[in-house]
Amino acid sequence: MPLGFTNQEMKKIDDVVKTRHRIKQGELLFSNGDTFTSLYAIRTGFFKSSISTEDGREQVIGFQMAGEIIGMDGIANDLHSCNAVALEDAEVCVMPFANIEALSREFPELQRHIHKVMSREIVRENSVMMLLGNMRAEERLAGFLLNLVQRLYARGFSQSEIILRMTREEIGSYLGMKLETVSRTFSKFSDEGIIEVKQRYVRIIEADALKKIFNQQTCN
Amino acid sequence: MPLGFTNQEMKKIDDVVKTRHRIKQGELLFSNGDTFTSLYAIRTGFFKSSISTEDGREQVIGFQMAGEIIGMDGIANDLHSCNAVALEDAEVCVMPFANIEALSREFPELQRHIHKVMSREIVRENSVMMLLGNMRAEERLAGFLLNLVQRLYARGFSQSEIILRMTREEIGSYLGMKLETVSRTFSKFSDEGIIEVKQRYVRIIEADALKKIFNQQTCN
DNA sequence: GTTTAGTTTTGATGCAAATCAACCAGCTTT
DNA sequence: AAAGCTGGTTGATTTGCATCAAAACTAAAC
């Protein structure tokens, strides 16, 4: 959060954020069609966001962790257009959007912050489009792992070890591939000594190899 | 644009939008790495936005037409992270983002409008992720055509006739498929009497058939 | 301890789309 | 009108991933 506020200002801003909400693993924070009222800042826990077609196919559109903001899809039509499910017990700050808008008219730093958060989501989705549109299974999974570990590292976790919060099927849905292909690709990386995999535990042994797979697979 | 302003207010808002810029077909409005200063409202013409990998693969991330806003990717890091190219001669309003932010602190309706535009872009990208991650070539192209014709219709153009502004290769890049597959799929739809295709000209004969292909291909 | 259900791995086979290749149509240029 | 160029179509072949199928592992339930 942006700094440089007086205590009084800080209090006003804090007030937006005072409502907390706990969500148990497997529960929905919001779902498609719900009326939009608030953004949610994840305090603890791990979420997946997804949309589904009429015929029941699910597309995971993102995984969110502590410190990230969720619910911005709802602003467009005052209705949520995706589902957010907790993949582990979680706690969020409920931030009524009307309050956010009012306060951000008062505090340019907050306004700027909101804009950046939304833009960052647009940029993230741009790179997922690149992943889905242009890359092969190995590149996708390498990119996924690198992104995940980088975000965890920024939060003080290990640079090389991950406990996956999602199933192979959910990873596959996010990356546009089937769970079997996810599993096989994990095994392949493991055979090549790039990572160590044991169920949900993944250790990155050769980060450089992953990076190489991720951004210049063409050289084959 | 939102209504309900006095003349004086309207003038202030108009001032943000007074700078115009013409872009010739094939020219860049902005590109990856450019410093971000402004959003652009397309007045006339047609754009594609794309990103590329280090090894030169291009991913088209969107096609934009009159009335749409372009450049929101730049807010996140004060740097543009994609390229915007005019696919036909175009004119845009240059809207310095600092002015937009200042004015939207003054006018809640404008603030709300900006938020909706950004959220709409997030929602759009969500559905492109569904397209790329879950759908087959025919579904993708059907969805693409339906989306395009719907946006053109909203601008007063025909509900059934389209002049494509982009090549087969650009369509393919957007949809995550190769130009040959785009061409074949056009031919298939044409053989089935769903559309008529002649180069860049497309006429939709059976919109319902396209819709059916788009949202329940599973029933095969 | 055994059962059951959910998840992951691995193998065999099939298919949709990519790739490779040739040709064609519509232009601009000369 | 011929030559060159760009973009589009179509055919033959290959291939990466999906699909189908079965077994192995994990953890909770009995």
Question: pLDDT value at position A54?
Answer: 80
Tens digit of pLDDT for each residue in B20-44? 999 999 999 999 999 999 999 999 9
User: Count of residues for chain A?
Assistant: 220
Residue spans of beta strands (DSSP E) within chain B: 19-23, 28-30, 38-52, 58-65, 69-70, 83-96, 161-163, 195-198, 201-204
Q: Are B70 and B85 in contact (CB under 8 A)?
A: no
| pLDDT above 90 as % of chain A | 85
Work out if A134's Cβ lies within 7 angstroms of strand C: no
Tens digit of pLDDT for each residue in A160-182? 999 999 999 999 999 999 999 99
Give the three-class secondary structure for A70: strand
Tens digit of pLDDT for each residue in B101-144? 999 999 999 999 999 999 999 999 999 999 999 999 999 999 99
Please state the φ and ψ torsions of residue B20, each to the nearest 5 degrees: -110, 155
CB proximity list for A106: less than 8 A, separation 6 or greater: A12, B105
Tens digit of pLDDT for each residue in B172-181? 999 999 999 9
Distances (CA, A) of B214 to A104, B187, B206, B218: 40, 17, 13, 10
Among A51, A53, A120, beta carbon nearest to B76 = A120
How far A52 CA sits from the closest chain B CA (Å)? Answer: 8
Amino acid present at B134? N
Residue B192: other Cβ atoms inside 10 A: 12
**Strands ordered across the beta sheet of B201-204:** B161-163, B201-204, B195-198
Cα R_g (chain B), whole angstroms = 19
Please state, in angstroms and rounded to a whole number, the distance separating the CA atoms of residues B133 and B140. 10
**Is A56–B134 a contact, with Cβ atoms under 8 angstroms apart?**
no
> What is the mean predicted confidence (pLDDT) over B146-174?
95
Give the three-class secondary structure for A20: strand
- In a mutational test of the B interface, the residue from A48, A60, A118 whose CB has the highest number of chain B CBs within 10 Å is A118
Please state, in angstroms and rounded to a whole number, the distance separating the CA atoms of residues B29 and B202. 28
Question: pLDDT value at position A3?
Answer: 60
Q: Are A31 and A83 in contact (CB under 8 A)?
A: yes
User: Count of residues for chain B?
Assistant: 220
Q: Are A101 and A38 in contact (CB under 8 A)?
A: no
Please state the φ and ψ torsions of residue B76, each to the nearest 5 degrees: -55, -50
Question: pLDDT value at position B4?
Answer: 64
- Enumerate the residues of chain B whose CB falls inside 8 A of the CB of residue A59: 129-130, 133-134
Residue A89: other Cβ atoms inside 10 A: 14
